[in-house]
């Protein structure tokens, strides 16, 4: 019996090529917020603009609980799936050029998941430190966030992220303490006995529900207020 080979339609191959080509050409995803950044007026006199820099946990914050951002000078610049090197590359476009008083950085879990390739904890921490130093060089105060707990990643099971996140948070906190940077500890407030996220705070164990963001919000507000008061 003659075997038949299943062929993939050309248009599917071409679409995949275009998708991969676009990602390669805009790896940090500058296009995501380019128009919004251009349309955003400079901060008014006395406005303490705050930029939230991060991944899907930050991006999803505005979608799951938009009330937190309404009526406040908060600008969400989270991009789903991003790792710290991607954030570092777009940091000037999506943070510095918006002239915030404060940036709150929440990052690291996608690096541990290997979304853009393998990373050591030191590599992740170095990228975060570089974002801090860029902000400070431009007169922007910083809030460093702990990486949220995660026992497993639904899109990449078996990575055993929990102990790696604990170790990364120790590096971030030590750097924050040494350099007198405000640190917001979401991890301690949210972790269960496995160092993961309980289902009531994140149904998939990674992305917070509204209840999860309700835990984070007063911590973020207090950290922002502390940063604004710092010298």
pLDDT in tens, 32-90: 999 999 999 999 999 999 999 999 999 999 999 999 999 999 999 999 999 999 999 99
pLDDT of residue 231: 76
Average pLDDT estimate for 162-188: 98
Whether 142 shows a pLDDT value over 70: the answer reads yes
Is residue 26 domain-resident?
no
Whether 183 shows a pLDDT value over 90: the answer reads yes
Whether 126 shows a pLDDT value over 60: the answer reads yes
pLDDT of residue 11: 44
pLDDT of residue 24: 65
Is residue 176 domain-resident?
yes
Would you state the torsion angle of the CA atoms of residues 16, 21, 24, 27, taken in this order, to the nearest 10 degrees?
-70
Whether 9 shows a pLDDT value over 60: the answer reads no
pLDDT of residue 15: 43
Distance, in Å, from the CA atom of 200 to the CA atom of 204, rounded to the nearest integer, reads 10
Structural domain harbouring 127: 54-229
Is residue 167 domain-resident?
yes
pLDDT of residue 23: 57
Indicate the number of domains in the chain: 1
Give the domain CATH number at 82.
3.40.50.1110
- At 107, the pLDDT band (50, 70, 90 cuts) reads very high
Average pLDDT estimate for 161-170: 98
Is residue 14 domain-resident?
no
pLDDT of residue 13: 43
Is residue 111 domain-resident?
yes
Is residue 43 domain-resident?
no
Name the pTM for this structure: 0.89
Is residue 46 domain-resident?
no
Whether 91 shows a pLDDT value over 90: the answer reads yes
Q: What is the mean pLDDT of the chain?
A: 92
Whether 97 shows a pLDDT value over 50: the answer reads yes
Is residue 189 domain-resident?
yes
């Amino acid at each position: 019996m003659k075997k038949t080979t299943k062929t993939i339609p050309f248009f599917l191959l071409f679409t995949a090529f275009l998708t991969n080509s676009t990602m390669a050409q805009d790896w940090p995803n500058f296009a995501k917020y380019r128009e919004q950044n251009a349309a955003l007026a400079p901060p008014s006199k006395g406005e303490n603009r705050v930029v939230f820099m991060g991944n899907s946990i930050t991006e999803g914050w505005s979608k799951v609980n938009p009330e937190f951002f309404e009526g406040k000078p908060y600008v969400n610049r989270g991009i789903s799936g991003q790792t710290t090197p991607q954030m570092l590359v777009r940091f000037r476009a999506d943070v510095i050029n918006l002239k915030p008083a404060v940036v709150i950085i929440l990052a690291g879990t996608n690096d541990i998941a290997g979304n853009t390739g393998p990373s050591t904890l030191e590599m992740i921490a170095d990228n975060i430190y570089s974002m801090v130093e860029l902000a400070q060089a431009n007169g922007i105060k910083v809030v460093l966030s702990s990486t949220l707990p995660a026992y497993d990643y639904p899109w990449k099971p078996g990575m055993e992220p929990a102990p790696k996140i604990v170790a990364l948070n120790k590096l971030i906190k030590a750097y924050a303490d040494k350099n007198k940077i405000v640190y917001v500890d979401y991890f301690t407030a949210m972790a269960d006995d496995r160092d993961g996220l309980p289902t009531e705070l994140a149904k998939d164990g990674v992305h917070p529900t509204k209840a999860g963001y309700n835990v984070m919000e007063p911590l973020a507000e207090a950290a922002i207020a502390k940063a604004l008061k710092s010298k």
